Amino acid sequence: MADVHQDPIAPLLTSEGWELLSTLGPYDESEAFKLNSELRKRGHSPEVVSAVLTQSRLRTRAEAKFGEFARQLLFTQAGLEQATRLNVAAHHANRFAAAGVKHVADLGCGIGADAIALAILDLQVTAVEQDETTAAVATMNLMPFPNATVVHADATEVDLSGVDGVWLDPARRNTTTSGTQRIWDPEAFSPPLSFVEQLADTGMPVGVKLGPGLPHESVPAGCEVQWVSVDGDVVEAALWFNALARPAVRRSALVIGPKGAAELTSAAGFDAVGQDVETGPAEGYLYEPDGAVIRAGLVADVAHQLGGHLLDPHIAYICAPELHETPFAKAYKILEVHPYNVKRLKAWVRSNRIGTLEIKKRGTAVTPEELRRQLLTGSGKGPNQATLVLTRIGEERVALVVKPLR
């Protein structure tokens, strides 16, 4: 590995930098300038102070993905943005362990989140990272695991002899002086999706993490694709090939929430998405499917589970006559149904003394923020709150007054 002392993390790889970082609590932007001055007065160089405060800020942000474990890790800006949440990485690692894989090559390991999860399960891990700074960060993060080795190299050129499984998290962002920019073309990823398919063609157990916006037509044949959401946020689409793919599963939605994980699967191809489900009126209870369910094309499957129907065949809202608990959708009680008319809705807001208004929408070009401003302006600051759902039923635009339910 080349000299990392020219890199931003270099001051942290000293006893002074490491010890100083360990003394800092959670990052507070309002106190950053004052803390910067205090640390310099104590004799720390500007380079060390800057590196330590930057790392403290990244660690605090990383708690959303890594919890308290974030305080033990190093990060880069781009590495944190793309890093797998630890609870999701655990699902990846379990997939390899269940398939009997013993030695995994993590190609494009980033800061090492997935490699950590694999190492925790006592799998041998060769973590490969092309970016020099990120490879140094991964090396530090994997130091507690003697069964993990970091290699600074191009993922497409690494010798895979002795490896019996491959995990890839291709770089999907460009880093510039103004921040990071997302890459959308799978062939512009590093490594590209075609390289993943070439590996899979050898029969090797291969898994790859891609962005959740992956179009159905871009999913290769012969693999399982799983969309994953965490607390309602869709975080990835993972492709699983060969021994890592389940025989009777083509697409699935893994929903991870406060009560644990739940999964919905289908053996049917994407040409079956949206078929065999009825449409009907807005009445009873409205269900808003989780984003992973929508991405996986499993809305109709949830409708069947709930004994419900769609409001419109092209819109992911389900209605059912009864309330059912499900991890795959949020539930609302439908209170009123109105035609979408701004003047009438404004009168409704005024007569019901609404001061706080949540607006949700699907299948309509209305901007919720702009409509909220229109409806509340001049209506008086009433004490009540309400939730409106804007959608279409065929050609008709409607506004549903709903009550969110736990």
Q: What are the mean pLDDT values of the chain's consecutive 10-residue runs (406 residues total)?
A: 53 91 88 90 92 94 93 92 94 98 96 98 97 94 97 94 94 60 70 90 96 91 96 96 96 95 94 77 96 96 95 95 96 97 95 95 93 88 93 94 93
pTM over 0.85, yes/no? yes
pLDDT in tens, 157-170: 999 999 999 999 98
At 328-386, the pLDDT tens digits run 999 999 999 999 999 999 999 999 999 999 999 999 999 999 999 999 998 777 899 99
Q: What is the pLDDT, as a whole number, of residue 198?
A: 93
CATH node for 80-266: 3.40.50.150
Beta strands in 195-302 (DSSP E): 206-210, 223-230, 233-241, 251-257, 260-266, 285-289
For 305, counting Cβ atoms within 10 Å of its Cβ (0-12 exposed, 13-18 middle, 19+ buried), the class is middle
Backbone φ and ψ for 225, nearest 5 degrees, come out as: -120, 130
Tokens of 42: 């104590």
Q: Where are the domains of the chain?
A: 4-69, 80-266, 273-330, 331-405
pLDDT given for residue 32 in this prediction: 87
In Å, what is the CA distance from 196 to each residue of 158, 192, 205, 283? 13, 7, 11, 47
Residues 345/376, Cβ–Cβ less than 8 Å: no
- To 10 degrees, what angle do helices 113-120 and 86-98 make? 50
Give the span between the Cα atoms of 57 and 287, in whole angstroms: 38
The pLDDT, as a whole number, for residue 6 is 42
Q: Which H or E run contains 194?
A: helix 193-201
HEC per residue, 291-358: HHHHHCCCHHHHHHHHCCEEEECCEEEEEECCCCCCCCEEEEEEEEEEECCHHHHHHHHHHCCEEEEE
What pLDDT is attached to residue 28?
87
- CA distances 254 to 323, 354, 361, Å, are 22, 37, 24
Number of H helices, E strands in the chain: 12, 18
Q: What integer pLDDT is reported at residue 285 of this predicted model?
A: 98
